[in-house]
């Protein structure tokens, strides 16, 4: 087992010992498994039975039915796949673009740093929801468009965090030693600096997942997200608000699952930040004691 794998395993075990994070992680694992294996479940989110329209929760329909008799629980489970897929795709796009931008900016400095950071500043001045809506208007309403739109809005955060880490590590002895022994800039960036910057980047991955799920739900609620009949938590909230008086469960139950999912990502992100902060303080104290 490599040193990196050992550190990751130790970190995951420490995260499990954090009560709030463990509960949040267990909930997210459950939701993720339901989303992955939803096709094997005996639920049909598209089956319509007008005679069963707006029936309350029961042993047959755990979350009740919507205005055309579709099972809300089945649609919530399928909606989890939509939300988690959007979050995963958005994180991949944001990290794939933002991390190299931050590495180049912090490592080389000069005009590269100025150019890239001004681009990041411009992206950060644009409201995420308005930028995503404009991009979807151009690309068309689909899940791919939602993933791209949400992913682009997450690029600046990865770029700034990676740049900050690169600036911190750029003058460290082990980085200078690699350069002295003939290591290329690419090798130094991706094989020396990046592996030592994974902690804050990993925290940002978790944070962006919650932001991406919330933004995807907001887009669907506004009618510009994933197109029906694909189930989406935001779309269910949008449809359910018209029946709050006669069928409050229609919007409340999907909204509850959405809220718990976002809070779970937030709890895990906070626990990770706390654990990584404690490790940093211990390393700092150890280095000062050795000096």
Q: For 61-88, what is the mean pLDDT?
A: 90
Quick: pLDDT tens for 167-219. 988 888 888 888 888 778 888 888 888 888 888 898 899 989 999 999 999 99
Q: What is the pLDDT of residue 208?
A: 92
Q: How confident is the model at residue 272 (pLDDT cuts 50, 70, 90)?
A: confident
Q: How confident is the model at residue 12 (pLDDT cuts 50, 70, 90)?
A: low
Q: For 259-285, what is the mean pLDDT?
A: 73
Q: What is the pLDDT of residue 8?
A: 58
Contact call for residues 135 and 74 (beta carbons, < 8 A): no
- The model carries a pTM of 0.85
Q: What is the pLDDT of residue 48?
A: 87
pLDDT exceeds cutoff 80 at 284: no
Half-sphere exposure of 8 (CA within 13 A, CB side): 10
Q: How confident is the model at residue 286 (pLDDT cuts 50, 70, 90)?
A: very low
Q: For 98-109, what is the mean pLDDT?
A: 92
What domains does the chain contain, in order, with CATH numbers? 3-290 (1.10.3720.10)
HEC sequence for the chain: CCHHHHHHHHHHHHHHHCHHHHHHHHHHHHHHHHHHCHHHCCCCCCCCCHHHCCCCCCCCCCCCECCCCCEHHHHHHHHHHHHHHHHHHHHHHHHHHHHHHHHHHHHHCHHHHHHHHHHHHHHHHCCHHHHHHHHHHHHCCCHHHHHHHHHHHCHHHHHHHHHHHHHHHCCCHHHHHHHHCCCCHHHHHHHHHHHHHHHHHHHHHHHHHHHHHHHHHHHHHCCCCCCCCCCCHHHHHHHHHHHCCCCCHHHHHHHHHHHHHHHHHHHHHHHHHHHHHHHHHHHHHHHHHHC
Quick: pLDDT tens for 13-71. 666 677 778 889 899 999 999 888 888 878 788 888 888 888 888 888 889 899 888 99
């Amino acid at each position: 087992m490599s040193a990196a794998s050992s550190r990751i395993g130790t970190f995951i075990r420490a995260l499990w010992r954090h009560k709030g994070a463990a509960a949040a992680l267990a909930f997210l694992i459950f939701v993720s498994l339901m989303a992955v294996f939803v096709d094997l479940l005996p639920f049909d989110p598209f089956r319509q039975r007008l005679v069963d329209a707006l029936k309350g929760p029961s042993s047959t329909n755990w979350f009740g039915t919507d205005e055309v008799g579709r099972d809300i629980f089945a649609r919530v489970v399928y909606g989890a796949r939509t939300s988690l897929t959007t979050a995963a795709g958005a994180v991949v796009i944001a990290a794939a673009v933002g991390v190299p931008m931050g590495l180049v900016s912090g490592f080389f400095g000069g005009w590269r740093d100025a150019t890239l950071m001004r681009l990041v500043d411009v992206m950060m001045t644009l409201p995420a929801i308005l930028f995503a809506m404009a991009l979807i208007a151009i690309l068309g309403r689909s899940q791919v468009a939602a993933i791209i739109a949400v992913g682009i809005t997450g690029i600046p955060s990865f770029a700034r965090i990676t740049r900050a880490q690169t600036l911190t590590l750029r003058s460290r002895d082990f980085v200078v030693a690699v350069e002295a022994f003939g290591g290329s800039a690419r090798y130094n960036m991706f094989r020396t600096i990046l592996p030592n910057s994974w902690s804050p980047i990993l925290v940002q991955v978790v944070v962006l997942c919650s932001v991406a799920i919330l933004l995807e739900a907001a887009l669907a609620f506004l009618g510009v997200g994933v197109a029906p009949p694909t189930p989406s938590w935001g779309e269910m909230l949008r449809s359910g608000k018209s029946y709050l008086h006669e069928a409050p469960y229609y919007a409340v139950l999907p909204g509850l699952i959405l809220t718990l999912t976002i809070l779970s990502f937030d709890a895990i992100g906070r626990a990770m930040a706390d654990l990584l902060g404690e490790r940093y303080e211990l390393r700092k104290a150890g280095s000062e004691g050795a000096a």
